[in-house]
Structure 1
Amino acid sequence: MLMKIHIFDVEHGECNAIETPSGHLFLIGTGHNSSTNWRPSTWVSWRNQRPHCIVLTNLDKDHLSDLSNFEPHLRPDTIKRNDYVNPQWIEDMKYEESGEVHSGVQTALDWMSNVFNGEVITPDYGMEKLFFYHSPILFQDTNNLSVVTFVRYNNIGIMFPGDIETAGWKEFLKDPSFVNCLLRTNILIASHHGRETGYCSEIFNYCRPDAVIISDKSIVHGTQSHDLYSQHCSGLDFGGKIRKVLTTRNDGKITIDLPAIGPYTVYINQSY
């Protein structure tokens, strides 16, 4: 069976979809594109396939901006969240920071408190999947409390780290299970949209990816402009041109096809 991964152009946000080998739809983040108004809820409706699982990677609005539009008819069967995080603590933090809670974040908090507040056993989806996250005992910011998702199929590993920052990466390196995932990562999605705050050189002592993919909008921050990742990548061949870093701001929607047997293929500037 083919596994297909979609990395959507949602500017400074996150939205990834996995069509799993089992036929389930698995979403990582539900950000949207404010310039084109592309939304994952519309894409899911068009497919006529309700997501089986949504990973609440980071409880910030750029990762959840379209989540309220999944209620009620597109609500998934289950979610994956940082189980250490108390929803009320996040809500209080948001009010203290800005005086409000974004509708997408509020939907996530409602799901955590009232809908998916018990243990749910999910299928294996025909792929390996592992999740890692820190406790608020270690970190008090939403970035370093991100859920890191690792999936692997046909010996190809892809890591989605959310907005983990340098200190969070270094803490994960103490976990042999996490290091084992790094060793098996072929495609790394850059943390924190490729900004310097999400970069940690030490992880590349264990991870030599073919390529890094950055989900981000046009460069507006100085911390976006540094090419931190190409030195660590072996590169992918696009018609004789070797690419080490792909970005949604330049390459649009990116799709990865992973067959059950044989090499994987990465496509850029894909239609929706």
Structure 2
Amino acid sequence: MLVEIFDVEHGACAIATCDDQTRLMLDCGQNGLTGWRPGNYLYDRGIMTLDMLAVTNYDEDHVAGLPNMYDRKININWLLRNKSVSSKTIQALKSEDGMGAGIAKLVDAIDNIFTGGTGGVASPGPSFAGMTKKVFYNDYPAFDDENNLSMVVHLTCNGKGIMFPGDLERAGWLKLLELEDFRQALRDTSVLVASHHGRESGCCEEIFEYCKPYYVVISDKGYMYDTQKTIPFYRRFTKSGPFRNETRNVLTTRKDGLISFTFNSDSWGPF
């Protein structure tokens, strides 16, 4: 099993390719500097069907590549998202700053393609051989900001856990920590993708009472904010492991580019 975390600057995009070649994409950001687009990536590899797209956050940097996916005619069989947030609520949340093209396409897809959230798929979803998933999110209107409405996706890949928390902030983390299933998911996490692209607002020390990851992965570009410099914070809580002939705790797309993990039945690790 392969999990690829792409360099999409200050955004998010990853793909899990399972043992039966089913694929789950987690967010669909893009790289404005290099021109990398998720739809082009799939198209160029002859992958015209995506079994599931999980949108962890309702901000543009998590869905900027969605129009490209539709332009390339990539079929998306299933949409996974925080369903307590309606398309009208997404539009209302974006009323102050306006919707980007990616959010606009997502709203259109929710209303016209994925009505009911399944896109017409009359089953519980793809099998994803070798992988199981759990999702957690805070409900609207208990939270009314995009970051704390982020959907946390926890994948168990041939026995090892990787967690994608979107842009969840401290208040959202603390609320989810009230759930025993969520605390167990943290215990079962070997790779943690840093919330909110490694910014301080996404840090929550309390989760590390349960979560003891080998690696933290930060998806972002060069430093834009003082609050982005959280590598020392995350390094405190990681076990570390081998990565490209080094021993590393924190991996970043801004330094390391594409970061991939293999999860086999008898071994796992990044490259």
Do they superpose with TM above 0.5? yes
Question: In structure 2, what is the equivalent of residue 258 of structure 1?
Answer: 263
Counterpart residue type for residue 222 of structure 2: S
Identity %: 37
Distance 1:200 1:114 in 2: 37
Counterpart residue type for residue 26 of structure 2: I
Question: In structure 2, what is the equivalent of residue 62 of structure 1?
Answer: 61
Q: Deviations over 1:18-63 (max 9, x none)?
A: 1012211210011001110111111010111121111111111000
What is the correspondence of 1:69-218 to structure 2 with a 5 Å cutoff? 69-71=68-70, 73-95=73-95, 97-98=96-97, 100-118=98-116, 120=118, 121-126=124-129, 127-218=131-222
Structure 1 segments, 4+ long, off by >4 Å, are none
Match of 1:19 among 17, 42, 46: 17
TM-score (norm 1): 0.93
Please tell me whether the aligned partners of residues 223 and 229 of structure 2 are also in contact (alpha carbons under 8 angstroms).
yes
Please tell me whether the aligned partners of residues 67 and 107 of structure 1 are also in contact (alpha carbons under 8 angstroms).
yes
Between Structure 1 and Structure 2, how many residues are aligned?
A: 262
Match of 2:249 among 236, 244, 249: 244
Match of 2:43 among 42, 45, 69: 45
Q: Deviations over 1:145-183 (max 9, x none)?
A: 111111112220000000000000000100111111001
Q: Which runs of 5+ in 1 are unaligned?
A: 268-272
Distance 1:75 1:147 in 2: 22
| Structural RMSD (CA) | 1.3
SS in 2 for 1:144: coil
Distance 1:180 1:92 in 2: 34
Q: Which runs of 5+ in 2 are unaligned?
A: 119-123
Counterpart residue type for residue 228 of structure 1: F
Distance 2:6 2:246 in 1: 23
TM-score (norm 2): 0.93
Counterpart residue type for residue 86 of structure 2: N
Please tell me whether the aligned partners of residues 59 and 142 of structure 1 are also in contact (alpha carbons under 8 angstroms).
yes
Distance 2:159 2:262 in 1: 13
